[in-house]
Amino acid sequence: MHAAVLHYFRVVARSGSVRKASLELNVAPSAVNRQIKLIEEELDVQLFERIATGMRLTLAGQYLLRHVNTTLQDYELLRADIDSLREARSGNITIAAVDSLLVDFLPRALEQFSNAFPAVTYHVDAVTPADIPVLVGEHKVDFGLTFVSGVWPKIDIVVEIPAPIGVVMRPDHPLANKDVIDFADVAPYPKLAQAGTIPTAANIDREFAEFRAAIEPKLMSNSIQMLKLALLANQGIAFFTAFGFLSELQAGELVWKPFSSPGINRMTLGLLVAKNRKLSLAAEKFMDHISKKLSLIGF
């Protein structure tokens, strides 16, 4: 209501006439005149000189007009911000990620984001690492999370963090007290393995690739959740990044130890978005949320 009164005043000041202002505003001249008088009574000052040709601002009126212009401009900026916020609080976000992130990290990030943006919906797919840059580059998903294995001309890496593959085991396992683990150290123990190909980035370490190819697992599964339960049941050890076990590591139910081989410790995980891709406000805000959470993780 305050903005409407100020708008009436500004139109009268610009047109120099109550009659012209009423035509522009599509209201009765008496309504416009009444609003001007109300402002003058409130400020206890004359804002216009009534002259033969219409209305002319007094010095006080000029001061008020300056205030009105600033106030209404700020009000429009406020409305734009509120409209943007309303847009950001709705919409659908599509994500492709390596499956280890869908076990713990992404569900937790999504839960936190949903508390502030409850109307946003999500479509999250577990995708093999090599396919994620393709989906991102072809705009089939808003953004992706995968292991960085090269340079993709059509893609920007928003954030990149270390993501080495190490040994996951129970805290009472004989290897749990070692700071780093050699490939030979794991030979005597039962091993759990994930079915499928390892990230291309792991090929930077020839020794690890040979080590993994030679493994004869006690249990193999394409489900990280099943492998996690087997680890907790002390069925063996497994070789993963820590992302799929953040809650268990934090609770002390499992431990993660790095390999001694330097190549595997150079692996990184990146958040990818297509170059020049215009995301929805909801997707931009969620991507920013994930970027900050990734930046806080350290191994």
Q: What percentage of residues in the chain have a pLDDT greater than 90?
A: 50
> Could you read off the pLDDT of 33-77 as tens digits, one per residue?
888 898 888 889 999 998 888 889 999 989 999 888 888 777 777
Count of H-run helices and E-run strands, the chain: 11, 12
Burial (CB count <10 Å: 0-12, 13-18, 19+), residue 164: buried
DSSP, collapsed to helix, strand or coil, labels residue 87 as helix
Q: What does 233-291 look like in DSSP terms, one character per residue?
A: TTS-EEEE-SGGGHHHHHHTSSEEEEBS-TTGGG-EEEEEEETT----HHHHHHHHHHH
Which residue from 126, 128, 82 is spatially nearest to 104, judged by alpha carbons?
A: 126
Whole-angstrom distance, CA of residue 175 vs CA of residue 20? 87
Query: The whole model's pTM is what?
Result: 0.67
**What pLDDT is recorded for position 180?**
96
DSSP, collapsed to helix, strand or coil, labels residue 99 as helix
Average pLDDT value for residue range 186-201: 82
Whole-angstrom distance, CA of residue 50 vs CA of residue 59? 14
Alpha-carbon dihedral sign for residues 268, 212, 258, 254: positive
Angle at 162 between CA 247 and CA 241, to 5 degrees: 45
Average pLDDT value for residue range 202-219: 84
Residues of the chain with CATH 3.40.190.10: 92-148+280-295, 166-266
**Quick check: 209 and 203 in contact, CB under 8 A?**
yes
Burial per residue of 6-21, b for 16 or more beta-carbon CB atoms within 10 angstroms, e otherwise: bbbbbbbbebebbebb
Q: Is the pLDDT of residue 201 over 70?
A: no
Q: Which residue has the higher pLDDT, 86 or 106?
A: 106
Whole-angstrom distance, CA of residue 50 vs CA of residue 40? 13
- A 10 A CB-CB count for 176 gives 16
Torsion of CA 47, 49, 50, 54, to 10 degrees: -90
Average pLDDT value for residue range 118-140: 91
Residues of the chain with CATH 1.10.10.10: 2-87
Q: Which residue has the tokens 């001309």?
A: 153
**What pLDDT is recorded for position 83?**
64
Structural fold of domain 92-148+280-295: D-Maltodextrin-Binding Protein; domain 2 (3.40.190)
> Could you read off the pLDDT of 215-262 as tens digits, one per residue?
899 999 988 999 999 999 999 999 999 999 999 999 999 999 999 998
Whole-angstrom distance, CA of residue 235 vs CA of residue 143? 36
Q: Is the pLDDT of residue 189 over 90?
A: yes
CA distances from 7 to 29, 66, 185 (A): 15, 12, 78
**What pLDDT is recorded for position 184?**
94
Q: Domain 166-266 is of which CATH architecture?
A: 3-Layer(aba) Sandwich (3.40)
Average pLDDT value for residue range 282-293: 90
**Is the CATH number 3.40.50.1980 carried by domain 2-87?**
no
DSSP, collapsed to helix, strand or coil, labels residue 192 as strand
**What pLDDT is recorded for position 1?**
45
Whole-angstrom distance, CA of residue 136 vs CA of residue 143? 6
Q: Is the pLDDT of residue 81 over 70?
A: no
> Could you read off the pLDDT of 5-25 as tens digits, one per residue?
888 898 999 899 889 988 988
